[in-house]
Structure 1
Amino acid sequence: MGGFFSGLFQSLWGAKELRVLILGLDGAGKTTILYRLQIGEVVTTIPTIGFNVESVTYNNLKFQVWDLGGQTSIRPYWRCYYANTDAVIYVVDSADRDRMGISKNELISMLEEEELKKAILLVFANKQDLEGALTPAEVSRELGLSALKSRTWQIFKTSATQGAGLEEAMEWLTNALKTRQ
């Protein structure tokens, strides 16, 4: 009976917004991806101090997307935003080989948090348009993604500035979220 009323209310007032965090080290392309998804074009960005929050509708799902700054001094505050998160988009600068270890440590630390245990993980191996970028398979290996046995996750080859891979990644995410519900 509760499911009936829930479905009725959703059809009358629309489905709830799904909460998505966009996380990653500074300079990975998080804000560029957020605005590319929201308005469909590249905007000039500056380093995010704090956060940006925007609504993004994709494939009949409405997302409340939180883009959190990735500087070293800001990362400890990510956990303040974990509650009620449906999915995490983790953005990696595939050309930044020197910081792959740091990126892995931040990802693993975040995924161990109780509030994110059920969150779906979508990894963007971003900046694939740059020479010397690691392939998605190499990024996956560097991040240790194969060890994530009890979590729904996927990695996609992306270029935020060119828009490459974003459509396929969001298609996968919407399907994964619909399947989970």
Structure 2
Amino acid sequence: MGFFLTKMMTVFGNREHKVLIVGLDNAGKTTILYQFLTKEAVHTSPTVGSNVEEITVRNTHFLVWDIGGQTSLRSSWYSYYSNAEIVILVVDSTDPGRLRLTKEELHRMLAHEDLQSAAILVLANKQDVKGSMTAAEISQHLTLDAITTHNWHVQACCGLTGEGLNASLDWMQSQVVAS
């Protein structure tokens, strides 16, 4: 009976799933976190350390860690990796000059043993800005097609308006329900 009850609780979402939001500074990570939570744009300042919020999507509970992306903080990202099921990489679609650095950080994360089973969600943020790169262009620059060791998805979005974020939450839920 205990096993059945535990299994039912997992199916109906009583288990909390750890999610990390990472990306270079000024990519929009905190804006997206609070758009997930409040469905509103909120004024943010650079994250020093991390922000943590719980987000529920149709009875699926996510504990979301938004980690600062400044150069000095990126070297400590690995300390958050343990038990992470999903990594959200937020990319500033208006900043092609830093895509090489973003790609390096992504592939460094993918190689870490604590993230071997984590799914990767790439959010191509700031799609509301004229001239921003498309999700397909970002996927190509990050060589996402070469990633065969992790489930991944790239989603165009706008952290300020919330456009594309519901689809992101749906994808996240599909990843943890399938596991």
Q: What is the TM-score with the length of structure 2 in the denominator?
A: 0.95
Q: Matched residue of 1:141: which SS?
A: helix
For 1:61 and 1:155, the matched residues in 2 are separated by 21
CA contact (8 A) 1:104 1:143 kept: yes
Distance change in 2, residues 1:15/1:138 (3 Å):
same
Q: Cα offset for 1:7?
A: 2.3
CA contact (8 A) 2:13 2:59 kept: no
Distance change in 2, residues 1:141/1:7 (3 Å):
same
For 2:58 and 2:151, the matched residues in 1 are separated by 19
CA contact (8 A) 1:16 1:62 kept: yes
For 1:62 and 1:148, the matched residues in 2 are separated by 27
Which structure 1 segments of 5+ residues have no match?
none
1:149 matched to which residue of 2? 148
What is the number of residues matched between the two proteins?
A: 178
**Residue correspondence of structure 1 range 81-160 to structure 2 within 5 A:** 81-160=80-159
Q: Cα offset for 1:179?
A: 1.0
Q: Cα offset for 1:5?
A: 4.5
For 2:102 and 2:131, the matched residues in 1 are separated by 18
Q: Percent identity?
A: 45
Q: What is the TM-score with the length of structure 1 in the denominator?
A: 0.94
Q: Matched residue of 2:61: which SS?
A: strand
CA contact (8 A) 1:59 1:171 kept: no
1:80 matched to which residue of 2? 79
1:4 matched to which residue of 2? 4
Amino acid at match of 1:27: N
167-176 vs 41-50, which moves further: 167-176
128-137 vs 45-54, which moves further: 128-137
Which structure 2 segments of 5+ residues have no match?
none
Q: Cα offset for 1:60?
A: 1.5
